[in-house]
Structure 1
Amino acid sequence: MNAPHLVGDWIRGITIRQPWATCILAGKTVENRTVHWPWRGWVLIHVGKAKPEPAVLRDPLVATAIRGRELHLGAVIGVARLVDCHLDQGPERCTNSWAQRAAHHLVLADVHELALPVPARGALSAWKPTRDLVGQVLQQLPGLKP
């Protein structure tokens, strides 16, 4: 069976540390990065293996977002559309409470959480997922298409 939607340039992976990745599933729409990302389109939300810093977990914004959620490690936990990336424009223009100053803001939309995390390896920059990984994700999100 030829399944072109399992490969190609329509989807990438993005590795995000905890608890930020879980915060995205809970409504965080901005991911902060040090460099501009030219990629636009669907991204797998992948969690790295590093455990979160305890002090970060006590931040009120983070604590509210992750309350009652498991903080998975080393797996794809969701999918989102990366719709924009812009340099911080100051608090007058970037009013999102998750946006950090002097950072590039990756703007995410259409977030879909996976019911079962899919173990996977990621990379620091946007990475191309394997056909098998995309297939495992699409088993849980059959309506997701390029």
Structure 2
Amino acid sequence: MSVATLPEGDWIRGISIRQPYAACILAGDKTIENRSRPWSWRGWLLHASQQIDRPALRLPLIARTIRSRELPTGAVIGVARLTGCHQDADGSPPCTEWAQPGAWHLEVSDVQALALPIPARGQLGPWRPTEDLVAQVLQQLPHLRP
């Protein structure tokens, strides 16, 4: 399938998420990603992780979630739909156990892991994947659409 057959528009972005957080999202347990700024963009995100946050591996919530999972880095390992972005009100309880106080919470759903990681280099903030990278993702997820 060619990317040219897809509708035009701004429907997919890359986001670099360190491991083990990317694996927690792909497991379906972590439904938010903490960021320092709000995002207005909505649509599919490619999860490309470049680094491992080693101290996080010892946190019980994370250790439980990633048990027996591989932690590939420097690769697109799945996709998720960004459906919203919010910040918890001051003094209110966190929206999930994954929420960091004061952070903006990117809300993700429809998570789909790739069977085979696709090597890719990400960058800070949302980034545009190349047509070739999107085509490689579509080989594994041919039903993925805007």
Report the 3-state secondary structure (helix = DSSP H, G, I; strand = E; otherwise coil) of the residue aligned with 1:138. helix
Name the counterpart of 1:22.
23
Residues 1:123 and 1:99: Cα distance change in structure 2 (over 3 Å): same
Superposition misfits of 4+ residues, deviation over 6 angstroms: none
CA distance in 2, matches of 1:137, 1:6: 16
The answer to whether the 8 A contact 2:13-2:46 is kept is yes
CA distance in 2, matches of 1:43, 1:19: 17
CA distance in 2, matches of 1:7, 1:64: 40
CA distance in 2, matches of 1:15, 1:2: 22
Equivalent residue in structure 1 for 2:45, among 43, 46, 50: 43
Offset at residue 4 of structure 1 (A): 4.0
> Can you list the C-alpha shifts for 1:83-107, whole angstroms capped at 9, x where unaligned?
0011222574543110110000000
Alignment of 1:67-82 (within 5 A): 67-82=67-82
CA distance in 2, matches of 1:74, 1:124: 13
Q: Which runs of 5+ in 2 are unaligned?
A: none
Matched residue count: 144
The answer to whether the 8 A contact 1:75-1:118 is kept is yes
RMSD of the TM alignment (CA)? 1.8
Alignment of 1:121-140 (within 5 A): 121-140=121-140
> Can you list the C-alpha shifts for 1:17-50, whole angstroms capped at 9, x where unaligned?
11101110012101000111111111101111x2
The answer to whether the 8 A contact 2:88-2:95 is kept is no
TM-score (norm 1): 0.91
Report the 3-state secondary structure (helix = DSSP H, G, I; strand = E; otherwise coil) of the residue aligned with 2:107. strand
Percent sequence identity over aligned pairs: 58
> Can you list the C-alpha shifts for 1:110-142, whole angstroms capped at 9, x where unaligned?
000000000001111101100000000010001
Report the residue type matching 2:25 in the other structure: I
Report the 3-state secondary structure (helix = DSSP H, G, I; strand = E; otherwise coil) of the residue aligned with 2:121. coil
Report the residue type matching 2:38 in the other structure: H
TM-score (norm 2): 0.91
